A and B are shown apart, each in its own frame.
Chain A
Amino acid sequence: MPEAISVVLIIVPFLAALASLLTRSSACRSFLVITTVCGLATCSLLLQASPACGGKWAGIIAPLIAGGDFLLLAVMFFLGCRYRHPLIVMLTAGQLALFAWLEFSVFAGGSHGPALFAVDALSLTMVRVVCIVGGLICLHALPYMQAHERHLQLDRSRQPQFFAVLLLFLGAMNGLVLTNHLAHFYFFFELTTLCSFLLIGHDNTDEAVAKALTALWMNGLGGLLLLLAIWGLYSQSAMLDMTGLVATAGGHGAAMLPLVMLLLAAFTKSAQLPWQKWLLGAMVAPTPTSALLHSSTMVKAGVYLALRFAPALAGTLLAQGLVLAGGFTFVAAAALAIGQRNAKKVLAYSTISNLGLIFACAGIGTPAAVAAGMLLILFHAVSKGLLFLCVGTAEQQVHSRDIEVMRGLCAIMPVTAMISVLAALTLIVPPFGMLLGKWLVFEAGADNIVFYLMLVLGSSFTVLYWVRLAGTLLAGGETAAARAEAQPLLTRWPLAVLACGAVLLVLGAPALHGRLLAALAPLFGPMTAFPAGPPFAAGRAGVLLTAQGAFPLASLFVAAALVALLALAAARQAMAGKKGRAYLAGANTELPDHFRGPMNRPVRAVVENYYLAPLLGEKRWTRWVNLAAAGLLLFMLGGGLWP
């Protein structure tokens, strides 16, 4: 059964993508996308863990994927030629040559027939994130893209291609997380690269194409590194079975080289410093693209790869380097986010920062840390997806990404603004999931003081820029007068479902964490056994216990719910009472945010946030931060290859 569902999860999006390409009618397209997304979400929920399966499909699927690989690389090579981008041409030509050689001479000799799929708690979590969060983003894209094209006034709709690529992306991600065959993993990895290129460049403006090409060459480099890693791993153990490789890979000195390559590939995919440029550039794309790239697909593929191979890294110097490199990205990207007044860039830096934290989890390399990393992936996907959809909708309305232009958004778009504030709060406030995950990382990583310092600084910076962004959206005059803005059903429902998920999903966190730990513990072997018994079985109900502390999740959640009700009642009561006016030194006018200025003229009271642009600005720091990050990567490399 799991293999049949796995095949459906991968094949159906491909077929739906094809159908979308052929459909010109917008009603048919909506129907197609809605049914596909509902089907995928249901399948992802029906899927169950199973160690290794799918042997009988190998005969059909393996040649298909090998053929697909050549097609994919040929397309990328052609794109490189068409846009006259020598780097892309070289990178894809290298990949083509290497892949052809591997496929026809190296792999052909060995007895490689690993099971096609392996579904464990990690891949199950990822599949659900991809299908449900990613699916909701696709639904939200239906009305969004219509408005987008109305705004662009195109002669011929380009939505068929757009939705085809969106659906293809979901299929590629499903394949990537479900497969157990490393060469197939490479195919899906490259497929996400191509999809992201097509999505970023969708609007076909010069800027969009330039940014898409950046994404293509950087991720092409990642693909080449991954292919080299696969070659290295295969030459060590003569197999492509991922579960087997996780158990056997690694060693000393040069034997670590494939794992180093693998991590570097993951770093480019997840846009870690110094490769953040492509993800920042990806912001030119329509909102559903950035929401998809940031929350449930693409960048999550890199961290997933690192978490998957965490057992092979555990205890090595390479892993320690990874902790520092990830921790550095966490702090540096958070600091850069403070210096940003472009809302979408704040979101982008925050994604990069959180992904750094997840890489550090892979480096800490205990089952508890890797499980914390998976929880971070899940909760980040939900909250960040929600935020991107909201900010994108706001951008469509105010025609700017500047935070200062969005000041007081709650007066024009109260629903969008309130959901954004809620989503930002779920990223920084207990008892919600991101904070729970961060708490687990604090507990798992406190032995390394340098990393602990990074954690402390990064978390505090994170609180600062989110509160500032949320506060700016609320800053305004009269909110009572504001009416809930009209939204199409397909905009409102995905937002509502994601918002409920962002708030409520944390209740399932203890169970999920337990399941992840149970799946991960055997991979790490007896070396990292838990101090005493299963970690969460002990203790009172609703309290997460670790060796170092306790998180009273149930009581905090109940308390938060009660407080929210009380506070809402207080707010309602206060709004029913007497209305005051903002303090403007007593010189108020009829307008809520204007004071009486010279000649009795109303003057708008303008205060902008501190962005510390001269101190933390992107222009000033990007070069140095990149240098430092590259230095840390070299350090990691050195640590990995140290005999």
Chain B
Amino acid sequence: MAVMRTAVIALAVLWAATLLGGLLSGLDRRLTARLQARRGPPLTQPFWDVIKLLAKERVVTNPWQAFSPVATLAAAATALVLFVCQGDLLVILFVHATGGVFLVLGAMASPSPYSQTGGQRELWQMLCCETLLFLFAGALYLTTGSFRVSGVLALPEPLLDRLPLLFLAFLFALTVKMRKSPFDLAGSHHAHQELVRGVYTEYAGPHLGLLEIAHWLEVMLYLAICSLFWATNVAAMILLPLAAFGAVIVLDNVAARLTWRWMLGRGWAAVFAAAALNLFWLKG
């Protein structure tokens, strides 16, 4: 019985998250279009794009390009389900990172220099995101005495009060994860600053479609983690992630791409230090 219940919850969560993630992606395109004085596509456009991709013929140069998207999507889905089950945040982050591992393996399996470079850059991006999220998990432990997501929901006060620097670091990670300027190094949504399609270069048709869905789910996981910063109030749990999402899109449209050296050497180093400081301050 318990297994059935979990399975139903998991399916419901994934269905809702895919729907929401797709809509958010549509919102992103609308907002960006408006910021660039265009009308933009309808809100449901991302779904049509993905459906079209899924219906296309499978063409690969290498078996890993078919293997990886399945693994990446599964990792993103598993991480999200674990989150909704209020599991251990460390485990969620480990599972989430697995998706990135396979994405990079698939990209590196091609001799194409564009794909190779994208894969390498994705590795640096993963390094940025993972470390900052693990620091958030550490903050979770220091405040609640547990790594479980359920611990945060029982807190009387929003975490944001005590984790302002970590929230900034989280916004940095969100920008990197959403593949938005100035850190859209491994694969951008904007054609004018793109090295072909970076880490996605060699993925095509249904495989690219799966990766697109995986990306929606990953962004949903990040936004869900974002909601933990203000988990005392349902309205805040919805508004805070939306505000963060909006901020990232505005930043995307006003910033140009920076180099990966800048991202790692200045950006990440600075926010990592700030987040670490926040941890010490939390304990002290």
Which A residues have a C-beta under 8 Å from some C-beta of B?
408, 421, 425, 428-430, 435, 439, 442-443, 446, 449, 452-453, 456-457, 459-461, 463-464, 467-468, 470-472, 474-477, 479-480, 540, 547-552, 556, 559, 563-564, 566-568, 570-575, 577-585, 592-593, 605-607, 609-610
A210 to B138, CA, bound (A): 46
A457 to B87, CA, bound (A): 23
Asked whether, in the complex, the Cβ of A566 is within 8 Å of the Cβ of B70, the reply is: yes
The range of chain B's interface size is 35 or more
A550 to B127, CA, bound (A): 24
From 50 to 96 in chain B, residues with beta carbon under 8 angstroms from any chain A beta carbon are 57-71, 74-75, 78, 82, 87-91, 94-95
From 108 to 126 in chain B, residues with beta carbon under 8 angstroms from any chain A beta carbon are 108-117, 119-120, 123-124, 126
> In the complex, what residues of B have CB within 8 A of residue A547's CB?
146
Asked whether, in the complex, the Cβ of A580 is within 8 Å of the Cβ of B138, the reply is: no
Asked whether, in the complex, the Cβ of B95 is within 8 Å of the Cβ of A549, the reply is: no
Assess whether B130 is interfacial by the CB under 8 Å rule.
yes
Tell me the smallest distance from the CB of B197 to a CB of chain A, in Å: 9
A406 to B55, CA, bound (A): 37
Asked whether, in the complex, the Cβ of B112 is within 8 Å of the Cβ of A582, the reply is: yes
Choice from A421, A467, A549, A607 contacting B104 with Cβ under 8 Å? A467
Given A471-B105, A549-B91, A570-B70 contact (CB < 8 Å): yes
Asked whether, in the complex, the Cβ of A475 is within 8 Å of the Cβ of B120, the reply is: no
Assess whether B98 is interfacial by the CB under 8 Å rule.
yes
Given A475-B116, A583-B196, A583-B201, A605-B111 contact (CB < 8 Å): yes
> In the complex, what residues of B have CB within 8 A of residue A571's CB?
63-64, 66-67
Choice from A464, A474, A572, A577 contacting B108 with Cβ under 8 Å? A474
Given A456-B135, A456-B138, A605-B113, A574-B101 contact (CB < 8 Å): no
> In the complex, what residues of B have CB within 8 A of residue A575's CB?
60, 63, 66
The 9 A-B residue pairs with the shortest CB-CB distance, nearest first, are A471-B108, A574-B66, A593-B111, A549-B88, A567-B70, A549-B147, A571-B63, A563-B74, A580-B59
Asked whether, in the complex, the Cβ of A428 is within 8 Å of the Cβ of B101, the reply is: yes
Tell me the smallest distance from the CB of B199 to a CB of chain A, in Å: 11
Asked whether, in the complex, the Cβ of B109 is within 8 Å of the Cβ of A475, the reply is: yes
Asked whether, in the complex, the Cβ of B91 is within 8 Å of the Cβ of A552, the reply is: yes
> In the complex, what residues of B have CB within 8 A of residue A472's CB?
108
A472 to B109, CA, bound (A): 7
Give 5 pairs: A residue, B residue, CB < 8 Å, sorted on A. A428-B101, A442-B147, A468-B120, A475-B111, A476-B111
> In the complex, what residues of A have CB within 8 A of residue B62's CB?
474, 476, 479
A549 to B94, CA, bound (A): 14
Asked whether, in the complex, the Cβ of B111 is within 8 Å of the Cβ of A549, the reply is: no
Asked whether, in the complex, the Cβ of B147 is within 8 Å of the Cβ of A548, the reply is: yes
> In the complex, what residues of A have CB within 8 A of residue B82's CB?
552
Main SS of chain B's interface residues? helix
Asked whether, in the complex, the Cβ of A456 is within 8 Å of the Cβ of B134, the reply is: yes
Asked whether, in the complex, the Cβ of A551 is within 8 Å of the Cβ of B88, the reply is: yes
> In the complex, what residues of B have CB within 8 A of residue A583's CB?
110, 112, 114-115, 196, 201-202
> In the complex, what residues of B have CB within 8 A of residue A439's CB?
90-91, 94
Assess whether B279 is interfacial by the CB under 8 Å rule.
yes
Asked whether, in the complex, the Cβ of B101 is within 8 Å of the Cβ of A578, the reply is: no
Q: Which among B63, B104, B107, B114 has the greatest number of chain A C-beta atoms within 10 A?
A: B63
From 232 to 277 in chain B, residues with beta carbon under 8 angstroms from any chain A beta carbon are 276
Given A460-B130, A563-B70, A567-B71, A580-B61 contact (CB < 8 Å): yes
Tell me the smallest distance from the CB of B136 to a CB of chain A, in Å: 10
Tell me the smallest distance from the CB of B83 to a CB of chain A, in Å: 12
A430-B91, A464-B126 are known; give 6 further A-B pairs, CB within 8 A.
A463-B101, A470-B105, A479-B63, A549-B147, A552-B87, A592-B61
Assess whether B148 is interfacial by the CB under 8 Å rule.
yes
A495 to B71, CA, bound (A): 25
Q: Which among B74, B109, B280 has the greatest number of chain A C-beta atoms within 10 A?
A: B109
> In the complex, what residues of A have CB within 8 A of residue B115's CB?
582-583
Asked whether, in the complex, the Cβ of B98 is within 8 Å of the Cβ of A430, the reply is: yes
> In the complex, what residues of B have CB within 8 A of residue A442's CB?
90, 147
A549 to B147, CA, bound (A): 5
> In the complex, what residues of A have CB within 8 A of residue B123's CB?
464, 467-468
Choice from B57, B112, B201 contacting A605 with Cβ under 8 Å? B112
> In the complex, what residues of B have CB within 8 A of residue A443's CB?
90, 147
Q: Which among A446, A471, A477, A577 has the greatest number of chain B C-beta atoms within 10 A?
A: A471
> In the complex, what residues of B have CB within 8 A of residue A435's CB?
94
Tell me the smallest distance from the CB of A613 to a CB of chain B, in Å: 14
Tell me the smallest distance from the CB of B69 to a CB of chain A, in Å: 8
A609 to B104, CA, bound (A): 13
Tell me the smallest distance from the CB of B114 to a CB of chain A, in Å: 6
> In the complex, what residues of B have CB within 8 A of residue A408's CB?
111
Asked whether, in the complex, the Cβ of A570 is within 8 Å of the Cβ of B61, the reply is: no
Asked whether, in the complex, the Cβ of A573 is within 8 Å of the Cβ of B58, the reply is: yes
A540 to B2, CA, bound (A): 11
Assess whether B192 is interfacial by the CB under 8 Å rule.
no
> In the complex, what residues of A have CB within 8 A of residue B124's CB?
610
